[in-house]
Amino acid sequence: MKDYYKIGEISTLYGIGVDSLRYYEKIGVLKPRRGENGYRLYSLKDIYKLNIIRDLRQLNFSMEQIKSYLSHQSIDNTLNLLQEEQEWIQNQFKRLRATEQIIRSRMNALLESFQIPTGIFTVKTFPDRICLRLSTNITRDEEMDFAIKKLHSKHENKIYDIGNQSIGASLSTEDLNKGITGVFRYIFFILEKKTREYDFILPAGQYLSFFYRGGYSQSTDRIKETLSYIEEKGYHILDDPFELYHIDNRDTMLKEEFLTEIQVRISE
């Protein structure tokens, strides 16, 4: 075995780019000596450090942590370093388990949505539902997507891209009475978990529910149909109607697979 190796040999042996090796030297982690011709020459001690750097980088340690460790290497520091990594791994497992639960919940919701009958009016009872809201006038699908993304960006810690939160949009009964159709006044997310940070509450009570499949061009007609049914049955409308998007372009690009639910809070 040679006592010294050139930078190209070390780069090939360890699969580490020459620029990375120069960076390690720049921050003081490696200190190769210079030969008579100015070439960097790496000793067996440098190779030993490279082994440690490679192993710790694979464990997700930063170069700052690695530099500190190599400068104060001891059993205590090694144990502390490994303890930090163990805690990091445990947190990653926790995060992955939570993500797995979110995925499983969304899969179950999609499978259940395929079984939901459409075109039927039913009365459901709900508890208070806390929501996050973005007030804006929306008239097209593209505007809806942009508004949803804007609300999501504002509350990334509460709303997951692949989560099972219900996304909804509310119309104004006053607009509908004036003949203004296809304009939503705000969008919202119904939060699954209780929190003190929310914008408004969908009040507990009875809601008339109506599901339909297909594109949103039929939205206005379906809402009018729902309001006519409420009038026919002698119910009283307590709040503006809203739609919930159980299956939309987050899940499929086939409009015939979209599943939308209209809800209106009523009293008898």
Q: CB under 8 Å to 187, separation ≥6 — which residues?
A: 133, 134, 136, 138, 144, 147, 148, 151, 167, 168, 169, 170
Q: How far apart are CA 185 and CA 171, in angstroms?
A: 6
Query: Torsions phi, psi of 47, nearest 5?
Result: -65, -40
Q: Cα–Cα distance between 164 and 156 in angstroms, integer?
A: 14
The DSSP symbol for 216 reads: G
Is the four-CA dihedral 153, 159, 164, 167 of positive or negative sign? Answer: negative
* Successive 10-residue mean pLDDT values, the chain, 268 residues: 78 83 85 81 83 82 85 84 85 89 86 92 95 81 73 65 71 74 83 80 96 90 93 94 90 91 94
Q: Give the pLDDT confidence score for residue 242 in this predicted structure.
A: 94
Which 8-state DSSP code applies to residue 35?
-
SS3 164: coil
Amino acid 222: pLDDT: 93
pLDDT of the residue at 157: 61
Ramachandran assignment for 80, one of left (phi > 0), alpha (psi -120 to 50 degrees), beta (any other): alpha
What pLDDT is attached to residue 156? Answer: 63
Under 8 Å between Cβ of 145 and 249:
yes
